[in-house]
A and B are shown apart, each in its own frame.
Chain A
Amino acid sequence: MADDSEWIVESIAGYLGSPEWVIPVTDFMEHKCTVFDDEDENKLSYTEIHQQYKQLVEKLLESYMKEVGISEHQFLEACSSPFAKSKAVQAVFQPVVATDDFQLFKSLMVQKNMELQLQALRVMEERNGMLPDCLTDGVDSMGELEQQELCILKEVLRRSKEEYEQEMAIRTLSDDETGSCSTSSSDRMVVDHMDTPPARDTPPAEVIHTSQMSESSVMGRGEGERADGRDRADSGRVCPKPAAGRGSGSKVLGVLRVPVKGVEPKMSGSQAAESWLEEAWREAGISKSFTELSEVQQEQLQQRALYLRQQRDKLQALRKEQQPKPTKELSAAPVPAPASLEISMEEKKRLQKRKQLAEKLKEEVIKK
């Protein structure tokens, strides 16, 4: 009986580390995490999402147990065994326990949200091709990295916003028709995301630029099926995604990563970040697909995208002039994801910082 228990617990723990589990669960979290902040008060929408999470986990576990022939009763027995109570096993089962523990679920989602926001920042920074001075120094400590992230954020947001506004002001002067494109509405656009649909018009340029940006082509290939799936879902995309292989990619899973011989899904950080942007975008009420936008919105998006591309080109040219400090330096620095929920003081501070970043990002990018 004791042997049985161990086998069952191990088997299920193994499953919790397998792609069959990790991919759908991670996917779910990445798509639903945008609304989660770590305010004390919870939003009503959390409950619905928690409910959906429960259903997903139940469905997955149920089908696995059926597949390997573990009965409900056996699982129950196994869970009472001392083996199941060990620290390592408990950690692995966290995502399962989260179905019944709202607070735990929320903390997982909040953390996921923050991770993706940081990655989104990087994507934005890369796409805009901006590399503020503060980024060219060596990257050693976490503190520095955070500083830099804050720096990028400010820089990206400030530049793109100011310059866009300037440009719009100029255009408004010279061309009455663009008057409908108010600056306030432009602010709510996520910086480069709307790059996607209009990119169809200018794919060659896009390809060239993005391939210059980083080691994306190398890392990108390693993504295999996963990346394909993503791209298929995102049929509007013609161009390879820039910088798919940010160093943070392997950290996407954060808390979900299990100490068992599980397989880590190969999902790049920027993909996760992109889906975050998509969600954030949707949340901001900016429609699901380009074609569903009103004409005015479409035009705004296109203008914005065009502007951003020009901006990026300028900056890249500029960067080539000055001896380019490699983007790698930044991208090589991983975002350390907390491996467990045991949050130390330092971790807390970091989370606090991240939260500030996240808020700033949301405020500047998403909201009008």
Chain B
Amino acid sequence: MGEVQKGLFSVIQKLKGTTEQELRIVLLGLDNAGKTTLLRKLASEDVNTITPTQGFNIKSVASNGMKLNVWDIGGQRKIRSFWKKYLENTDLLIYVIDSADKKRFEETGLELSELIDEENMKGVPVLIFANKQDLATASPASEIAEGLNLHTYRDRKWQIQACSALSGEGVQDGMNWISSNILNAKKTT
């Protein structure tokens, strides 16, 4: 980002007069992981008529007094190369995993580690949702964390949260983690 661009950016922030409590969040993960379902759940919308995302969805969600601008980008393989275009100025990455899709654990792990290495993701906190816990075949979050080597992440805050985007269980816990960890961190910088 050039000098002027930075300048304009802050000008716009001023014009909008809404700097404090706004977070830009990108919601990523493999196709079928449940990203759009989660997004809809966060916005208290119907989660029963969701089709695979070809482009991206944006919703502004109020949560714990913050305004979250959440960007949900399609996870199909052909779309993944576009992910990095959405990472600029991101305050938080939410990465969604289908906990019952064991066959693709390796694939999702690779995608995540690639994301983490992106320049724009430097130091950006990660919240991982181990989704679809309502399914009997779902692996527990702890197992997934191990598989992803989350304990090796030392350059950023991270959290893994078991949830079911469909039922909403566990989702609020993830949101609470965001408000207590990310928001405070952002204020001090």
Give A contacts to B, CB under 8 Å: 40-44, 46-47, 57-58, 61-62, 72, 75-76, 79-80, 84-85, 90, 93, 96-97, 99-103
Q: List A contacts of B53 (CB < 8 A).
A: 41
Q: A47-B86, A90-B15 are in contact. Are A72 and B4 (CB under 8 A)?
A: yes
The smallest beta-carbon distance between B176 and chain A, in angstroms, is 26
The smallest beta-carbon distance between A84 and chain B, in angstroms, is 7
How far apart are the CA atoms of A37 and B176 in the complex, in Å?
35
Pair B57/A40 contact, Cβ less than 8 Å:
yes
Q: List A contacts of B140 (CB < 8 A).
A: none
Please tell me if B187 contacts chain A, counting CB pairs below 8 Å: no
How far apart are the CA atoms of A46 and B58 in the complex, in Å?
12
Q: List A contacts of B82 (CB < 8 A).
A: 44, 47
Stretch at the interface among B5-13, B129-137, B161-169, B177-185: B5-13
Pair B54/A61 contact, Cβ less than 8 Å:
no
Q: A58-B4, A72-B4, A85-B17 are in contact. Are A99 and B58 (CB under 8 A)?
A: no
Q: List A contacts of B10 (CB < 8 A).
A: 76
How far apart are the CA atoms of A218 and B57 in the complex, in Å?
47
Q: List B contacts of A41 (CB < 8 A).
A: 53-57
User: Looking at B7, B60, B85, which has the most chain A CB atoms within 10 Å of its CB?
Assistant: B7
Taking A75-B11, A76-B14, A85-B17 as known contacts, 7 extra A-B pairs with beta carbons closer than 8 A to each other, sorted by chain A number, are A57-B8, A58-B4, A72-B3, A72-B4, A76-B10, A79-B15, A100-B12
Pair A72/B17 contact, Cβ less than 8 Å:
no
Q: List B contacts of A103 (CB < 8 A).
A: 58, 60
Question: Can you list 22 A-B pairs with a CB-CB distance of less than 8 A?
Answer: A40-B57, A41-B54, A41-B55, A43-B55, A44-B79, A44-B82, A46-B55, A47-B85, A47-B86, A57-B8, A61-B8, A72-B4, A75-B11, A79-B11, A84-B14, A84-B15, A96-B15, A100-B12, A100-B13, A101-B12, A102-B58, A103-B58
How far apart are the CA atoms of A46 and B73 in the complex, in Å?
13
User: Looking at A80, A85, A100, which has the most chain B CB atoms within 10 Å of its CB?
Assistant: A100
Give B contacts to A, CB under 8 Å: 3-5, 7-17, 53-58, 60, 79, 82, 85-86
Pair B56/A42 contact, Cβ less than 8 Å:
yes
Nearest opposing residue in chain A for B72, CB measure: A41
How far apart are the CA atoms of A5 and B3 in the complex, in Å?
22
Pair A76/B7 contact, Cβ less than 8 Å:
yes
How far apart are the CA atoms of A44 and B16 in the complex, in Å?
26
User: Looking at A42, A84, A97, A101, which has the most chain B CB atoms within 10 Å of its CB?
Assistant: A42
How far apart are the CA atoms of A366 and B15 in the complex, in Å?
40
Q: List A contacts of B57 (CB < 8 A).
A: 40-42
How far apart are the CA atoms of A203 and B72 in the complex, in Å?
53
